[in-house]
Structure 1
Amino acid sequence: MSAQVSVAGTVSTAVVRSLIASARKHGEQRVIGIRAVPDPSAERRFADSGEAVHVLPCISSLAVRQALLERAPQEWLIILTDRPTDDLGAGILAHFVNQRLQAPGVWDALNERFGADRIDRHLATLKKRLEVSQGLLRITPDDGWPAAPGAVLTMDHAFGTVARRRLKLADGPVDAFSVLEWTTRPDTAERVADLREFGGPELAEATLEWLTLQTGPARLPLQRLLELGRFAEALPLAFALHILTSTVGRSAQEKALTELALARLEYLWTGSGEQVTHPMLVSLGHAARSVIEAHLDSPARWHEAQTALQAADKVLSKIQAATVGHESILLPTGLSAALQRLASALSAFPETGIGAVEAFWTPVEAHRLAYPPRGSEPDPRVAPFHSAVRLARWLDGEDATPTTFADAVRLQSREHAWVDMAYNDAAAGVSDQLLAESLAHVLKLVEQKRQGHDRSFARLLTASISADEGHTTGRLDGEGDGVWHLERLLPSVVMPLARKTNALLLVLDGMSAASAAELSSTVLRGNEGWVEAIPVSSQRRGAAVAVLPTLTTLSRASLFSGELTSGGQSRELAGLAAAAKSGGIAQSVLFHKAPLDSARPGLSLHDDIATAIADSQTGLVACVLNTIDDALDKSDPAGTTWTPEAIRHLRPLLSHAMAAGRVVVLTSDHGHIVERRRGEMRSVGGASSARSRSVEGAASDDEILVQGRRVMAEGGQAILAVDETLRYGPIKAGYHGGASPAEVVVPVVVLAPMDKVPAGWKEAPLQEPLWWSVAATSAMAPTQTGNAGLIATDKGNTASLFGELDAQPVPETLARIGGGIIVSATYKAQKNIAGRLAVADGQVETLLNALAAAPATRLTKEASAVVLQVPPTRMGGAIAQLQKLLNVEGYGVLRVDGAQLVLDVPMLREQFGVTDHG
């Protein structure tokens, strides 16, 4: 940092600069005479505004004359002399600015540097004012200080300017918020130290005192922290004070604990000269919370807030008050405590009911550290527990029992794919042993339920294969969304699409329905212009059934050929060419792994592939992506988050397809199961894969015998593993070949550019099941009043943890309030006023029920879209229609708060005449 160094003698460089600035305004003379002690050590040379300055002590009039004679042209000559005017004579004085010797005071120089005519009384009578004014002059910047308003130099202007210029205080109002925020800057302590060194300790102390004077009731404790040099600690200490002084709802014992903790901090306030009172600490604490919350709202400063909160936790721990922060929605200990309470509820599930789980999940979800902004490291415990809550909701729901194989396939695609995804996330686990036990408990319940579903699926699969269902149409019959035989997917879905609009078929080898759910969700939320498309007669995405056994050589060759067959890449190439020709596609091309991996250095995609996608004459481009299938052998598919970045080549393929306006069909040849190190390897003869074998010996309970046209094993029959714990070969990261729904059901996801949904298709709603986003059994969700401090450390404490919860359920009529609304006279009148509506009564009822039972009667727009089953791009219109229906006479029954929908339940009841009794 630059500084003006004080020199020996009575005239500082800052005073000289001030006189030069004044002289420039009033004439052309460049010699200034100053009455001062002509100390030889005071001589110096420097530049001012690019002009040379020579300060020269002269002990006699002769020395002055000599200096005038030797002055360089255009140089400023500053004569320091103590000779009387008579001794100098009129001839010498005529060379000086104003024809006289000047005797500037410090305050005169300050007025000049600040462009002021006078100095405010408060500044002029300041304690140690001479040292402060000299410090202000010494640190005067080369371009001067900003002019004082009204030509009056005040403390606010002088110290505010120093704070902003030298200490880098942010522009804007100076208050407790801005001063506390200033303390979080990494260079604050260094800048204060520099001010002490170059401006003097008196100026530094006066500036800090002025800063704290602007903070109102928080002044005294904050001033003491700054005096102690605790700049980096100020915000954490202040936030700890906020926690300690927030006594609402605390017991007498907790209040005593906080008072003792506050007493342990009293050493910080000693020496302040004034008594630090409780209201002062409260005020400082409130300011700290405001700063923390503002930083948490800023992605660029979120990490700073997290660091400050961690430091505040350490402060509370040091003063033996760590438990006081357990209810905080900001402190890390608050998140840990909330997770512990949730873990206790999950460990006791299902005996305690889903209501207890939801009640203890709400504070976890609401915690400000639970979901950091993109780019910040998330707390690794939150995602597994979010998934565990989702699994608990699913477990609590009605157990679907499909009666047809088509329904079983749809169940896997619509529900169980999401169960599998949540299971993988929860199974990733946490490092804390007690928390991990609660996750394990939920996972075990899921495994038991899924095992029954998997065995039921296998039995229906066997019957369907034996009866050769769909032999004529290539599609499994029955009401509902499309379920195709995989070998008929090309002629039934892909070719008709490619005839309407050019298509890109991406076959992700080994992609299960769960992987597709995760991947497609990421793509659709990526703001890249993709929407999911489904046939106009459908509500959910379709699915296909792999060829058996679920092996690549069987299913992939059959997929590309449009008929049952087997073989490798050459068979697939020939099969696609023939299928495309018969399907009316003039030009088609298929790329396997080798050309996909052969891009020139610097290119993300091979020239031939990019050219084919861009070529409007090529109706169908197909690519095989092997990342997922390779992961089954070489890595951990359960630990992989399937995003476009995780699957090699997918991101550039999607980008080129978007640029070319192509519809994209994401599908697979088969799914997979994940190895969880709990499986059994069974030695058998004639194993065709890790999950299939020849018919030698009877099938066990965890196996199934399949036989029929679509069984491509020798003789049209095979025994397939059903339970995911069974394998016939060495351990790998995952397997396929068996009869579990995760292996047999093939996802079919159609993506279209937002403005190019093909004719006969429509934009799909979000595909997540309801329990993924909201509590599915909200009718029994309890209130949380009085339960925030209850913690169970083991199952023996279950009664104390949940007794109060069970005693205060949300009335069942509240969770079904929508039914009363849509039959009310007011609702019918509102429908007549609103005119034609796209939202149906059933959608309104479902959303009202979900909102009424949601925490704080709020749902995100995304969750609301799942409840309404409308595409996200149409939520704006749906909300507008809902507000027309519900906001009677403009009252805010349903309002939008940022990314959330908020329902005012009391106003809803009042406006529509619905009582607590329905």
Structure 2
Amino acid sequence: MNGQAAVQSTVSTAVVRSLISAARKHSTQRVIGLRAVPDADAERRFADSGERVHVLPCVSSLAIRDALRNRAGDEWLVILTDRPEEDLGAGILGHFANQRLQTPGAWEALKERFGADRIDRPLSTLKQRLPVAQGLLRITPDEGWPAAPGAVLTIDHAFASVAERQLALQRGPVDGLSVLDWTMRTDATDRMADLREFGGNELADAVLQWLTDRAGLAGKPLLRFLLTGRAAEAVPVGIALNVLTETGGRTAQDRQLSELALARLEHLWAGSAEPITPSMLAALGKSARNVVEAQLEDPARWQEAHAALQAADRLLTKIQASSLGRDSQLLPAGLTAMLQRLAETLRSFPGSGIDAVEKAWAAAEDHRLAYPLRGNAQDPRVAPFHAAVRLARWLTGDYALPDSFISAVHLHAHVHAWVDTAYNDVAAGVSDQLLGEGLATILRLTEQRRHGHDREFARLLATSTSSDEGRAAGRLDGAGDPVWHLERLLPSVVLPLARAKNTLLLVLDGMSAASAAELASTVLHGNEGWAEVIPAASERRGSAVAVMPTLTNLSRASLFSGQLTSGGQSRELSGFTALTKAGGIAQSQLFHKAPLDSSRPGLALQDDISVVIADQQTPLVACVLNTIDDALDKSDPAGTTWTPDTIRHLRPLLSAAMAAGRTVVMTSDHGHIVERRRGELRAFGETSSARSRLPETPIGEDEVLVQGRRVLAEGGRAVLAVDETLRYGPIKAGYHGGASPAEVVVPIVVLVPGDNVPDGWKLAPSQEPLWWSVVAGGGAARPAIPGAGLTKTAKDNTPSMLDILDSSDPVPAAPRLGAAVVSSGMYKAQKAIAGRLAVSDSQVASLVDALAAGSGTRLAKEAAAVVLQVAPARMDGAVAQLQKLLNVEGYGVLRVDGSMLVLDARLLREQFGVTDHG
């Protein structure tokens, strides 16, 4: 080949840069001679790595000599000439790098830019290989391309480098999932457009072909989205395809609908070089689903995944196939359909039966959008329906009325407090009328049952008050835990605690048992080190009975004074000081709202309060927090989730107590009821509150007359409203003063740092009722609340586990999986190997049944603690013992998955040789 035949018509700046880069490494000369057409328009100047470059066409050896004579010493001179080397002679060639004319080839330049000695065949034999190479040179980064492994430039290395640098694909193996994930970037389309503009169509097409080749069967339809600049549509369309191509279990009508919908999408594949087959579309759908499911697990990516799912919903509607998404565990429309089915079962409850409710709820609960990792993204419909299912479980139990006042207090504190919490969540409602009808049925049934319980509570309250029950001891005695008169709470409970260990008393004005249940749950599950304790002889959280009427100036003054009295803050302060000194507490402090609110800027607590809490010489510090009571006038107590953050000052007070190692007692002076805009105003001449009045007119069925020593208003006799719909004053957000259990029962929550349990106390088991967390029929019976003393009066439905929970006499459950396991020979052998155990056979059986009935045979640790009736702080130890018993030879029958316990029911039956008969 002669020199003239090898002359290039043009030499790109990218090629010039690569030759200069090579010359820097291998030569000291700063002149490069290139065989090229010396077109005058080819002259140009630019900078490379901070050095000036002059590209100069020269038509003769004389022109070359002149260029060499006139060049600046600090610049690179690149001479373009078509003269053969023989015409130039050794004198001119000696000035050139490598002492010769070079033939500028794009592939040779490309090898240099990638630090390669050779190029593999798949890359060098590409169609349009020269434009591809030129495109790679044009978009070479200033810092150069990553060096080719083994000095061999492969198509994978070249195009993966482009994908990372130009398209911003994450470094790592490129496959269909990574490409689909990349299409969801907001700048994906712009980056593809930039690649086309600067690298050329040939390079862009080759890179996109290479990317989609790695997607397997999904590659061909995916390529159409990329080539047409519609990358953002790939995942939403893929999700829709996943729905359309999942034909298992579908009716003939649905299969026909799916085929028609796929036909309506055929325009998307128009122009494809190869036919797009159903298997390709199914593969794209599966890959898109995998990508979105992975993103839903990442809080940072949740929103874009949800947007893609919404777009898929819209597409299915557009192609008239929205009904096919009703069973999707991924699409928003699927969650809506599942909630609609649940609403339908609730709307016909109890006729539909609790099993139908549980089945419908399990489907909705398992939906990927029901409980996202991003709590603030949670579908607002889920919480009301979860609460409605909880109430349905409770309603499935026996309708039973208490037969004594202490049993009525226990019933409210230990069961109905949680009912009220769930009721508030359901009452928040949803915006969809069809869904709302299902919730309305549960609300109505709950109101009917609570209505009867509340009236019976008020009747028993009146009897207990008039007989002055518990006067001598300051408490109600009977079966189960004692219930304190509120005025005896400090001398009988708080002061003994303070004498043993420094204590912080927090009186949350207006906190009902329901509010306390919600608040205590958030504190105990907040990973801040608090544990709840109860007296060693007790089984449940303590309670007290407010003074009548249930007003702040009566109950709070009596609480702090240790005796029945009335008055404001000055009376509370004087009574508290006298009471604590008489009780052997030399140093004590009581803080009301004003000093708590006067903290310096930048501080969560007023200086004096922080100092006193930290002071080991002050055994008892008391603070009054008014947030809940204030909400009855100014906001929405039912719509507020009570946490340490929603109650002003509570979190810093708890933090200060934790730092000082103080025991914390959280209680209140009275509870409250909520205004739901369905109440009745009944005007009377003399009223002491919106819920209490003088007995000047006949008493209605929704009222009760209380009289006796603990009635501190109206001359020892007062009429109190019972039904929550009755009030005597102007409308507010909520009220107190009446005789409903929500107003009368005062919760007592005692918290300790870590496991620093005071003498005479013990760690409390989880306080939630079983129906709060476990499906109906999903666990063996546990004893009812000690001393509940419930008298059966009516029965709503077929007996279930909940019947057992609501009865005073435990009833043996039918033989089930848990019972079969603990009766097996293998279980007995495992017990012998495990040695001393703290969990009983009945606890093991209960948990096995609860897990077996749970969705996916999974149960949250908090729910498992309720089933086992162990303190949350003891759960890790309990789980370890359960695994010793159930994981035969180390096989994972019971395993921990984050915050969940997971049971392999098949393996359990196999290992223990059992079947269940439940």
TM-score, length of structure 1 as denominator length: 0.93
Cα deviation for residue 874 of structure 1 reads: 1.8
Q: Secondary structure at the match of 1:669?
A: coil
Once the two structures are superposed, residues 135-192 of structure 1 have per-residue CA deviations (whole angstroms, 9 ceiling, x without a partner) of 1000001111111222222211111110111101122221111111110111101110
Cα deviation for residue 738 of structure 1 reads: 0.3
1:467-478 aligned within 5 A:
467-478=467-478
Counterpart of 2:92, as a letter, is I
Between stretches 79-88 and 853-862, larger displacement belongs to 79-88
Equivalent residue for 2:166? 166
Cα deviation for residue 898 of structure 1 reads: 4.1
Shift of the 682–132 alpha-carbon distance from structure 1 to 2, 3 Å rule, reads same
- Counterpart CA distance in 2 for 1:914 and 1:218 is 45
Equivalent residue for 1:222? 222
Counterpart of 1:828, as a letter, is K
Between stretches 869-878 and 764-773, larger displacement belongs to 869-878
Once the two structures are superposed, residues 26-46 of structure 1 have per-residue CA deviations (whole angstroms, 9 ceiling, x without a partner) of 132222222223344433333
Once the two structures are superposed, residues 753-807 of structure 1 have per-residue CA deviations (whole angstroms, 9 ceiling, x without a partner) of 1143333322222211100001234499xxxxxxxxxxxxxxxxxxxxxxxxxxx
Q: Secondary structure at the match of 2:471?
A: coil
1:726 aligns with 2:726: yes
Is the Cα contact below 8 Å between 2:355 and 2:776 reproduced in 1? no
- Counterpart CA distance in 2 for 1:246 and 1:907 is 30
1:31-70 aligned within 5 A:
31-70=31-70
Counterpart of 1:415, as a letter, is V
Q: Secondary structure at the match of 1:720?
A: strand
- Counterpart CA distance in 2 for 1:57 and 1:591 is 92
Between stretches 224-233 and 747-756, larger displacement belongs to 747-756
Cα deviation for residue 464 of structure 1 reads: 1.3
Counterpart of 2:880, as a letter, is A
- Counterpart CA distance in 2 for 1:502 and 1:65 is 99
- Counterpart CA distance in 2 for 1:660 and 1:813 is 47
Cα deviation for residue 709 of structure 1 reads: 1.2
Once the two structures are superposed, residues 99-138 of structure 1 have per-residue CA deviations (whole angstroms, 9 ceiling, x without a partner) of 1222221111011111112222222221111111111000
1:236-255 aligned within 5 A:
236-255=236-255
- Counterpart CA distance in 1 for 2:755 and 2:66 is 88
Once the two structures are superposed, residues 837-874 of structure 1 have per-residue CA deviations (whole angstroms, 9 ceiling, x without a partner) of 11122212222222233333332222111111112222
Shift of the 674–205 alpha-carbon distance from structure 1 to 2, 3 Å rule, reads same
1:766 aligns with 2:766: yes
Counterpart of 1:877, as a letter, is G
- Counterpart CA distance in 2 for 1:748 and 1:66 is 101
Counterpart of 1:173, as a letter, is P
Counterpart of 1:613, as a letter, is I
Once the two structures are superposed, residues 363-418 of structure 1 have per-residue CA deviations (whole angstroms, 9 ceiling, x without a partner) of 01000101122343211111111111111100101334322212211111111011
- Counterpart CA distance in 1 for 2:873 and 2:695 is 52
1:553 aligns with 2:583: no
- Counterpart CA distance in 1 for 2:321 and 2:464 is 65
Shift of the 38–834 alpha-carbon distance from structure 1 to 2, 3 Å rule, reads same
Counterpart of 1:42, as a letter, is A
1:294-305 aligned within 5 A:
294-305=294-305
- Counterpart CA distance in 2 for 1:456 and 1:45 is 98
Once the two structures are superposed, residues 11-70 of structure 1 have per-residue CA deviations (whole angstroms, 9 ceiling, x without a partner) of 222112211111122132222222223344433333333333333334444443444344
Equivalent residue for 2:202? 202
Between stretches 55-64 and 417-426, larger displacement belongs to 55-64
Q: Secondary structure at the match of 1:351?
A: coil
Shift of the 143–906 alpha-carbon distance from structure 1 to 2, 3 Å rule, reads closer
Shift of the 509–148 alpha-carbon distance from structure 1 to 2, 3 Å rule, reads same
Cα deviation for residue 261 of structure 1 reads: 0.9
Equivalent residue for 2:775? 775
Equivalent residue for 1:485? 485
Is the Cα contact below 8 Å between 1:814 and 1:916 reproduced in 2? no
Equivalent residue for 2:596? 596
Counterpart of 1:181, as a letter, is D
Is the Cα contact below 8 Å between 2:679 and 2:727 reproduced in 1? yes
Shift of the 144–748 alpha-carbon distance from structure 1 to 2, 3 Å rule, reads same
Equivalent residue for 2:389? 389
Cα deviation for residue 813 of structure 1 reads: 8.3
Q: Secondary structure at the match of 2:476?
A: coil
Equivalent residue for 1:792? none
Cα deviation for residue 705 of structure 1 reads: 0.8
Counterpart of 1:251, as a letter, is T
1:859-878 aligned within 5 A:
859-878=859-878
1:455-470 aligned within 5 A:
455-470=455-470
Equivalent residue for 2:652? 652
Equivalent residue for 2:370? 370
Between stretches 670-679 and 494-503, larger displacement belongs to 494-503
Q: Secondary structure at the match of 1:437?
A: helix
Percent pairwise identity? 71
Is the Cα contact below 8 Å between 1:531 and 1:753 reproduced in 2? yes
Equivalent residue for 2:409? 409
1:629 aligns with 2:624: no
TM-score, length of structure 2 as denominator length: 0.93
Equivalent residue for 1:746? 746
Equivalent residue for 1:804? none
Equivalent residue for 1:642? 642
Counterpart of 1:743, as a letter, is E
Equivalent residues, number: 880
Cα deviation for residue 914 of structure 1 reads: 4.1
- Counterpart CA distance in 2 for 1:584 and 1:67 is 107
Equivalent residue for 2:828? 828
- Counterpart CA distance in 1 for 2:704 and 2:151 is 95
1:217-366 aligned within 5 A:
217-366=217-366
- Counterpart CA distance in 2 for 1:237 and 1:613 is 61
- Counterpart CA distance in 2 for 1:150 and 1:849 is 60
Is the Cα contact below 8 Å between 2:779 and 2:867 reproduced in 1? no
- Counterpart CA distance in 2 for 1:877 and 1:244 is 48
Counterpart of 2:836, as a letter, is R
Is the Cα contact below 8 Å between 2:777 and 2:853 reproduced in 1? no
- Counterpart CA distance in 2 for 1:250 and 1:608 is 70
Counterpart of 2:509, as a letter, is D
Cα deviation for residue 235 of structure 1 reads: 0.3
Is the Cα contact below 8 Å between 2:59 and 2:81 reproduced in 1? yes
Counterpart of 1:256, as a letter, is Q
Once the two structures are superposed, residues 689-730 of structure 1 have per-residue CA deviations (whole angstroms, 9 ceiling, x without a partner) of 000011212321111111111111132121111111110001
Cα deviation for residue 504 of structure 1 reads: 1.4
Between stretches 20-29 and 566-575, larger displacement belongs to 20-29
- Counterpart CA distance in 2 for 1:109 and 1:760 is 85
- Counterpart CA distance in 2 for 1:45 and 1:585 is 92
- Counterpart CA distance in 2 for 1:60 and 1:44 is 19
Equivalent residue for 2:880? 880
Q: CA RMSD in A?
A: 2.0
Is the Cα contact below 8 Å between 2:31 and 2:77 reproduced in 1? yes
- Counterpart CA distance in 1 for 2:16 and 2:535 is 84
Cα deviation for residue 825 of structure 1 reads: 4.1
Equivalent residue for 2:125? 125
Between stretches 723-732 and 61-70, larger displacement belongs to 61-70
Unaligned 5+ segments in structure 2 are 1-7, 781-811
Equivalent residue for 2:399? 399
- Counterpart CA distance in 2 for 1:570 and 1:852 is 58
Is the Cα contact below 8 Å between 1:52 and 1:75 reproduced in 2? yes
1:533-552 aligned within 5 A:
533-552=533-552
Counterpart of 2:129, as a letter, is R
Equivalent residue for 2:685? 685
Cα deviation for residue 824 of structure 1 reads: 4.0
- Counterpart CA distance in 1 for 2:171 and 2:11 is 33
- Counterpart CA distance in 2 for 1:823 and 1:620 is 52
Shift of the 579–65 alpha-carbon distance from structure 1 to 2, 3 Å rule, reads farther
Shift of the 904–139 alpha-carbon distance from structure 1 to 2, 3 Å rule, reads closer
Shift of the 916–592 alpha-carbon distance from structure 1 to 2, 3 Å rule, reads closer
Is the Cα contact below 8 Å between 1:414 and 1:540 reproduced in 2? yes
Once the two structures are superposed, residues 486-514 of structure 1 have per-residue CA deviations (whole angstroms, 9 ceiling, x without a partner) of 11111122212222222211111111111
